[in-house]
Structure 1
Amino acid sequence: MSTFTIPTESSYIEAEGVRFAYRKFGQEAGIPLVFFIHFRGTMENWDPIMIGALAENRPIILFDNAGVGESSGETPPTIAEMAKDAASFIKALGLEKVDILGFSIGGMVAQELALQQPNMVRRIVLAGTSPRSGVSERREGVYEAMTESSGNDARENFLFLFYGPTETSRAAGIASLKRILGQKKVESSSQVTEAQFKAVSEWAQREPEQKYDWLQKITQPVLVTNGVEDIMVATKNSYILTVNLPNAQLIIYPDSGHGHLFQYPEQFAGDVNRFLDAE
């Protein structure tokens, strides 16, 4: 298990009128790995075991995109604008080349960033996410659980959305949630929730004869991951990404769902490290 201590104090940098909050840590040398968090999430919502295991091998950059968490501004209502904000942040840091890891809505932003800034992005990890106009197979109650942020049901909503119904998956989810809640608490505003939901809804709109030719433009090596049954972003989307991206590989984790990377934090980190270190 990683013993790396993740810093709790944020740094700030101005870019295009936004004061971005971020943390850069881990190894000094190497291509930085920039993280894009899930719906309504902030820097505090990554599992520290997974982040720590990755930080032992490379520079890590966590950040709150425009309007999210400790960053200023407003969250835009489209994935394209979120990617543009992320590019402004990365450029402000003086970075010419980065690896990116996007989880859920963060994976959508990562795809769009690779399209907008192909020379900036070296390798891509897409966890629990979908292409534009992907497949929707959401169960009943998913929308309500996604938009309910407080109250006695908050923990159960999280477990329902991120993990499988088995005792093993739920136990791993509870353990991860305790680790996440042990970090600094920073909430996202209702503006973030509304804007991100609009962005995801626009991204999900399907054409009568949907094709994924645009994915051919993402030529970087891509690692696609998911749980065997993701009820938030249907696992079928991970297959669609892998089939249509020209240089992609897929890992499906057993007995897990959307939160597979938190359920298997060390295994996931090991898989990501091997992928990023490959020639």
Structure 2
Amino acid sequence: MAEKQDQWTNVPTQFISANGINFAYREYGQHNGGTPVIFLNHLAAVLDNWDPRIIDGIAAKHHVVVFDNRGVGASTGKPSKSIEQMADDAITFIQAKGFKQVDLFGFSMGGMISQEIVLKQPQLIRKMILSGTGPAGGIGISTVGRVSNWDLVRGMATRQDPKVYLFFTRTDNGKAAAKQFVQRINERTENRDKEITISAYRAQLKALKKWGSKKPADLSVIQQPVLVANGDHDRMVPPVNTYDLAKRLPNSALIIYPDAGHGGIFQFHDDFVK
């Protein structure tokens, strides 16, 4: 069993209790030592929405911990209605695990939560990766819900995973990448996570709307090295936010993938993992 556990498709889901919440998480790559990398996920996502190639790729050299925030997937509790509260819950989880310092990998909404975490607890964070995301009050962030809902309907109408539309371009490249991505996130067949509930999705939309309309934070205080990434055709969080975010962070590096959407890192997973 041991050698098989080094893969995202069969890492067991575990639980840890803190603040009255039972957090569901998966963890592997501990033998690599070093700073644990905490993964923070996108709108409506649960553990099984992560691309196995990215998690396996990073777990090959790092200690990886992926969790469901409060009220999401198999984690208990009432879903949080603000990005700030989601950050507090994430900090609760990190501290419950006994980690003194972590790296954060925030994708989309997870990138917004990551920004709040580092502003609240700078000493807790060593480095960050922020992908498909933008700063508070960024262009188009408060309307992410509208784009998502439209594509959810489109997905149902075409019997496709809505992420095909949301995360990828509609070019031949984009369509092929989308198909491969959907296959990969379905590779795990046993002990899959619980799907997001409608109430959790609604709470997240509320949180995004609020966060997207708030006054931008001063990100110049974030001294940690940050890798900022996106696709050049992100319809969910327009790439102008990605450039803006990289500019506001004093110690940032920027990658923009060509002919790629919100899920650019999944499309270019080989390059991104490096």
**Aligned CA distance change for structure 1 residues 139 and 213 (closer, same or farther; 3 Å):** closer
Equivalents in 2 of 1:143, 1:149: separation in Å? 10
Equivalents in 1 of 2:149, 2:80: separation in Å? 22
1:10 aligns with 2:13: yes
* CA-to-aligned-CA distance 1:14-68 (integer Å, 9 cap, x gap): 1111000111101421111000011010111011011111110010001000000
Alignment of 1:53-68 (within 5 A): 53-68=57-72
Equivalents in 2 of 1:268, 1:50: separation in Å? 8
1:22 aligns with 2:10: no
Segments of structure 2 that go 5 or more residues without pairing to the other structure are: none
Q: Percent same amino acid among aligned pairs?
A: 38
CA contact (8 A) 2:46 2:193 kept: no
Task: From 93, 98, 106, give the equivalent of 1:94.
Answer: 98
Q: CA RMSD in A?
A: 2.1
Task: From 184, 195, 198, give the equivalent of 1:190.
Answer: 198
Residue type at the aligned position of 1:30? G
Task: From 164, 168, 177, give the equivalent of 1:172.
Answer: 177
Q: Decide which moves more: 138-147 or 96-105.
A: 138-147
**Aligned CA distance change for structure 1 residues 213 and 198 (closer, same or farther; 3 Å):** closer
**Aligned CA distance change for structure 1 residues 174 and 19 (closer, same or farther; 3 Å):** same
Segments of structure 1 that go 5 or more residues without pairing to the other structure are: 271-279
Give the equivalent residue in structure 2 for 1:233: 237
Residue type at the aligned position of 1:82? M
* Helix, strand or coil at the partner of 1:226: strand
* Helix, strand or coil at the partner of 2:129: strand
Equivalents in 1 of 2:88, 2:16: separation in Å? 16
Give the equivalent residue in structure 1 for 2:79: 75
1:49 aligns with 2:53: yes
Alignment of 1:104-253 (within 5 A): 104-136=108-140, 142-145=147-150, 147-148=152-153, 151-153=156-158, 155=160, 157-183=162-188, 184=192, 186-205=194-213, 212=216, 214-253=218-257
**Aligned CA distance change for structure 1 residues 114 and 72 (closer, same or farther; 3 Å):** same
Equivalents in 2 of 1:238, 1:120: separation in Å? 24
Residue type at the aligned position of 2:25? Y
Equivalents in 2 of 1:248, 1:49: separation in Å? 24
Give the equivalent residue in structure 2 for 1:276: none
Residue type at the aligned position of 1:97? Q
**Post-superposition offset of 1:182:** 2.4
Equivalents in 2 of 1:246, 1:190: separation in Å? 38
Equivalents in 1 of 2:271, 2:244: separation in Å? 23
Residue type at the aligned position of 2:22? R
Residue type at the aligned position of 2:207? A
TM-score by length of 1: 0.89
Equivalents in 1 of 2:152, 2:179: separation in Å? 20
Task: From 261, 265, 269, give the equivalent of 1:261.
Answer: 265
**Aligned CA distance change for structure 1 residues 154 and 40 (closer, same or farther; 3 Å):** farther
**Post-superposition offset of 1:169:** 1.4
